[in-house]
């Protein structure tokens, strides 16, 4: 059954998924392990998202944070900032939420096969990049160097501490973390994520980059990526926009000619250049 | 043209009256002095209006209602719907047979565009069920409805397809063009109808030829050919025209509400008082409204009115054509008729063209 056939009958109706496990990650973010009650596998690609429903409250687009190789359910990392994401916060193990998806485009790992990979994540941007990093590490011999830059507000907002620790101790990974504002406990780098570009020498022409973070970060990180010689068609990013339907109908996520839910959320910089450039010059 | 028939107006009127007994028939009806809108009718009197005044909104509302339930949910357990128990979901699509009568060529073009959007990639079962159950009986315009219409400039003053039947006024008779098998089948129930003769077709040709002259002024509302709109918009993103009109725009969304090709919607949940059941509904939304592109974290990707106005124009005039090959502005003029700031689309396009010619849109 193709995806469009599957959704033809139930395009907007969610499927029940049980919260198998949950963990508080930071003050604002919670990690969830979900499993469909029907037993079906989500069948996603890294970078795709789902629509999470709390009926009576609403629906919100959330990036999938587990790699496709995980087939016993899937994971989400949710920042509690809106009505839906705050309602989810009230739910625990055994509770059920509604899920639609997976939706949208995925990160094109095949395009960087044989290349070095640079991951740049700002804050919650680590969430959609995590499945890409995991997938790349599962097929480690397909790629050259793997470099990870992760910047976040402060030490207490660091996500996926266990993953980061593993990546930092993995000799085949070059993982750097920075915070904007340090506290007494912080021993690592302090400053913006762009500063990490100056700590690591990279062979830009043989590097593909995956970038995700707040809009303001893109502008500066993309300039750095260009400066070290990564070509625009080898830079991939994921955009966050308002979404209601997730299936290219409601119009909220439009960015220039694109419906981010359908044509994105993962784009190459090449594709987006005209659109983003305009926003940034204003 | 595949087939054409001719029927006397009284015979066609009684055909419509009989249809109205069986199925829902909607057509423009007078709501107040000088104001028309689509509503349920029992007869064909809408076809007899001496002076046609364009309807405030288009027949779109019968395909994409201003508000509709996408599905309902209920909690079988003794708990509220949002408390995490497994819910029951039920979704119905409305498939009520409905004749859309006296649909003008511009609105026929608009329905074609809505069909494109709602069957793209992930087909929308609600829209498509209504669409499949709809019969479109078009009514050709022999003169522009008013001075704000610019259908002839964007190629929608004539309809060649997109209707089941299309009526052209030949005085005592209707000339009925048959566009689909469904239309042909329906006509079998129409009495006193005959095939069009050579003479009838000549009358049609004369009428159509006369249109060209009558619509010239309407066509000239745009200073350049309508098919060039995407090109005029290309690279217009930084034009001062957007600031000028953005300043005037109130961001009220009225243009979106009356536009026959606006399809954007918001989604909202409502629950019963005991919180044990509810429904998810969608309702029309508008890209010119402030909150349209705002996300939960606080970022708003089109905060300025000029950004939103520009997006609307680019969607209608460039992005739509790029994806589907058709302009998504069908020149009906409804937005200008309803705009409190008097923003008139051809005026904006012409201003963009003038600025482009002056070469000052890349400032």
pLDDT of residue B129: 95
Beta-carbon separation of B278 and A81 below 8 A? no
Q: What is the pLDDT of residues B151-175, one digit of tens each?
A: 999 999 999 999 999 999 999 999 9
Q: Which of B67, B89, B281 to mutate against chain A (most A CBs within 10 Å)?
A: B89
For residue B276, the chain A residue with the least C-alpha distance is A56
- Within 13 A of A23's CA, how many CA atoms are on the CB side? 9
Averaged pLDDT for residues B201-217 = 93
A241 shares contact with chain B (CB less than 8 Å): yes
Question: Is it true that A3-103 and A109-281 share their CATH fold?
Answer: no
- Is it the case that residue B362 has pLDDT exceeding 80? no
Architecture of domain A3-103: Beta Barrel (2.40)
CA dihedral B129→B131→B135→B141, nearest 10 degrees, is: 170
Number of other residues whose CB lies within 10 A of the CB of residue B225: 12
Residues of A in contact with B88 (CB under 8 A): none
> Which residues of chain A neighbour B278 with C-beta distances below 8 Å?
55-56
CB of B323 less than 8 A from some CB of A = yes
- pLDDT the model gives residue A5: 38
Cβ separation of B237 and A278 shorter than 8 Å? Answer: yes
Chain Cα centroid distance, residue B285: 15
For residue B361, pLDDT beyond 60: no
Contact of B68 with B61, CB cutoff 8 Å? no
Contact by Cβ (8 Å): B18, B189: yes
- Whether residue B34 is predicted with pLDDT greater than 90 in this model: the reply is no
Predicted local distance difference test score (pLDDT) of residue A281: 59
Overall fold of domain A109-281: Rossmann fold (3.40.50)
- Rounded mean pLDDT, B89-112: 94
Segments of chain A scoring below 50 in pLDDT: 1-8
What is the number of other CB atoms lying within 10 angstroms of the CB of residue B342? 9
What is the CA B329 to chain-centroid distance, rounded?
A: 9
**Residue with tokens 């062979």, as numbered in its chain:** A203
User: pLDDT per residue over B222-258, tens digit each?
Assistant: 999 999 999 999 989 889 999 999 999 999 999 999 9
Tell me the C-alpha distance between B341 and B48, whole Å.
Answer: 33
Q: Which residue, chain included where needed, has tokens 């919100």?
A: A60
Residue B83's pLDDT is what? 94
Give residue limits of the domains in chain A. Answer: 3-103, 109-281
Residue B46 pLDDT level (bands cut at 50, 70, 90): confident
Residue pair A260/A100 in contact (Cβ under 8 Å)? The answer is no
**Which of B122, B117, B165, B115 is closest to B140 using CA atoms?**
B165
Name the nearest CA neighbour of B103 among B66, B60, B151, B67.
Answer: B60
Burial class (CB in 10 A: 0-12, 13-18, 19+), A171: exposed
Note whether A57 contacts B82, CB cutoff 8 Å.
Answer: yes
Cβ-nearest to A55 among B87, B117, B323: B87
- What is the pLDDT, as a whole number, of residue B190? 95
| Nearest residue to A202 (alpha-carbon basis) of A143, A136, A147 | A147
Render pLDDT for B113-129 as a digit per residue (tens, 0 to 9).
Answer: 999 999 999 999 999 99
What is the per-residue pLDDT across B301-346, written as a single tens digit (0 to 9) for each?
A: 899 999 999 999 999 999 999 999 999 999 999 999 999 999 999 9
Q: Six-digit token pair at B324?
A: 């589907």
């Amino acid at each position: 059954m193709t995806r469009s056939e599957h959704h033809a009958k139930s395009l907007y109706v969610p499927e029940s998924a049980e919260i198998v496990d949950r963990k508080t990650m930071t003050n604002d973010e919670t990690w969830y392990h979900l499993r469909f009650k029907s037993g079906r596998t989500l069948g996603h690609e890294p970078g795709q998202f789902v629509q999470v429903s709390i009926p009576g409250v609403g629906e919100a687009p959330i990036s999938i944070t587990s790699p496709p190789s995980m087939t016993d359910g899937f994971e989400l990392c949710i920042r509690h900032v809106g009505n839906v994401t705050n309602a989810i916060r009230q739910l625990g193990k055994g509770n059920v939420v509604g899920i639609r998806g997976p939706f949208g485009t995925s990160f094109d790992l095949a395009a960087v096969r044989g290349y070095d990979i640079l991951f740049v994540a700002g804050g919650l941007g680590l969430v959609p990049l995590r499945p890409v990093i995991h997938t790349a590490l599962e097929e480690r011999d397909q790629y050259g160097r793997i470099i990870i830059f992760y910047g976040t507000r402060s030490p207490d907002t660091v996500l996926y501490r266990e993953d980061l620790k593993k990546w930092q101790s993995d000799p085949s990974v070059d993982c750097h973390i920075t915070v904007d504002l340090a506290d007494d406990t912080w021993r690592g780098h302090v400053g913006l994520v762009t500063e990490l570009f100056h700590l690591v020498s990279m062979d830009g022409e043989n590097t593909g980059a995956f970038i995700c973070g707040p809009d303001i970060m893109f502008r500066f990180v993309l300039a750095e990526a260009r400066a070290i010689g990564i070509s625009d068609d080898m830079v991939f990013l994921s955009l966050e926009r308002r979404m209601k339907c997730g299936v290219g109908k409601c119009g909220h996520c439009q960015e220039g000619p694109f419906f981010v839910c359908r044509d994105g959320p993962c784009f190459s910089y090449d594709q987006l250049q005209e659109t983003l450039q305009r926003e940034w010059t204003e | 043209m595949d087939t054409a028939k001719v029927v006397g107006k009284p015979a066609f009127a009684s055909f419509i009256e009989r249809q109205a007994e069986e199925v829902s028939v909607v057509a423009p009806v007078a709501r107040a002095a000088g104001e028309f809108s689509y509503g349920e009718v029992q007869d064909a009197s809408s076809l007899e209006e001496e002076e046609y005044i364009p309807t405030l909104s288009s027949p779109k509302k019968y395909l994409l209602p201003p508000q509709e339930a996408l599905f309902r949910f209920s909690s079988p357990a003794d708990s509220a719907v949002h408390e995490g128990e497994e819910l029951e979901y039920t979704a119905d699509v409305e498939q009520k047979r409905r004749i859309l009568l006296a649909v003008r060529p511009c609105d026929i073009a608009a329905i074609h565009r809505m069909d494109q959007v709602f069957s793209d990639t992930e087909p929308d079962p609600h829209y498509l069920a209504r669409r499949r159950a709809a019969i479109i009986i078009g009514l050709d315009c022999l003169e522009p409805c008013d001075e704000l219409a610019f259908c002839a400039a964007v190629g929608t003053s004539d309809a060649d397809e997109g209707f089941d039947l299309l009526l052209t006024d030949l005085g005592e008779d209707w000339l009925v063009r048959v566009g689909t098998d469904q239309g042909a089948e329906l006509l079998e129930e129409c009495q006193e109808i005959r095939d069009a003769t050579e003479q009838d077709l000549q009358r049609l040709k004369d009428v159509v030829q006369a249109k060209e002259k009558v619509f010239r002024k309407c066509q000239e509302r745009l200073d350049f050919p309508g098919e060039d709109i995407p090109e005029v918009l290309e690279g217009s993103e930084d034009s001062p025209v957007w600031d000028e009109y953005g300043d005037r725009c109130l961001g009220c969304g009225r243009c979106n509400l009356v536009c026959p090709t606006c399809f954007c919607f918001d989604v909202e949940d409502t629950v019963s008082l005991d919180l044990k059941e509810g429904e998810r509904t969608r309702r029309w939304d508008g890209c010119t409204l402030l909150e349209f592109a705002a996300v939960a974290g606080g970022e708003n990707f089109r905060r300025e009115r000029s950004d939103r106005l520009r997006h609307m124009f680019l969607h209608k005039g460039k992005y739509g054509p790029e994806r589907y090959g058709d302009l998504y502005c069908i020149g009906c003029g409804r937005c200008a008729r309803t705009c409190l700031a008097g923003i008139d689309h051809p005026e904006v396009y012409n201003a963009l063209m003038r600025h482009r010619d002056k070469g000052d849109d890349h400032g």
